[in-house]
Amino acid sequence: MREALILAILREGNKYGREIRDECETRAGHNVPLGSLYTTLTRMEEKGLVRSKTEKSSAGRGGNRRNYYQITGAGEHALSGYVEKRGYILNLVPEYD
């Protein structure tokens, strides 16, 4: 489900790792270690779900470069599949009164 969350976040626009992490933590309500996030992003890039672009460093960021991530067409398709599966699963669960 982490991939689906990341894709949903990136669907709103390009973001760098810490922005993605912060949004994941806000939406999921729990800590997301950066190392784990970058492992997931690397795997997603290998699958063609996202692409990254390194932005040049600037003095305002202390000279650090940032990798910005963008959802791809394949990522959009995968996100649609996640949403469809989620709806199917929720329909299998009986409603409680």
Please tell me which residue, 19 or 88, carries the higher pLDDT value.
Answer: 19
Residue 53 lies in a domain: yes
Residue 64 lies in a domain: yes
Q: Percentage of the chain surpassing pLDDT 70?
A: 82
Residue 97 lies in a domain: no
Residue 52 lies in a domain: yes
How much is the mean pLDDT over the chain? 87
Report the pLDDT value the prediction gives residue 87, as an integer from 0 to 100.
74
Report the pLDDT value the prediction gives residue 31, as an integer from 0 to 100.
93
Residue 24 lies in a domain: yes
Q: How many domains does the chain have?
A: 1
Distance separating alpha carbons of residues 49 and 2, to the nearest angstrom: 13
User: Sheet containing 66-71: which strands, arranged edge to edge?
Assistant: 15-16, 66-71, 50-55
Q: Are 75 and 50 in contact (CB under 8 A)?
A: yes
Report the pLDDT value the prediction gives residue 84, as an integer from 0 to 100.
84
Residue 79 lies in a domain: yes
Kindly give the residue spans of alpha helices, DSSP state H, lying in 12-72. 17-28, 34-47
User: Domain of 87?
Assistant: 2-92
Distance separating alpha carbons of residues 77 and 49, to the nearest angstrom: 9
- Tens digit of pLDDT for each residue in 43-63? 999 999 999 999 876 656 566
CATH of the domain at 17: 1.10.10.10
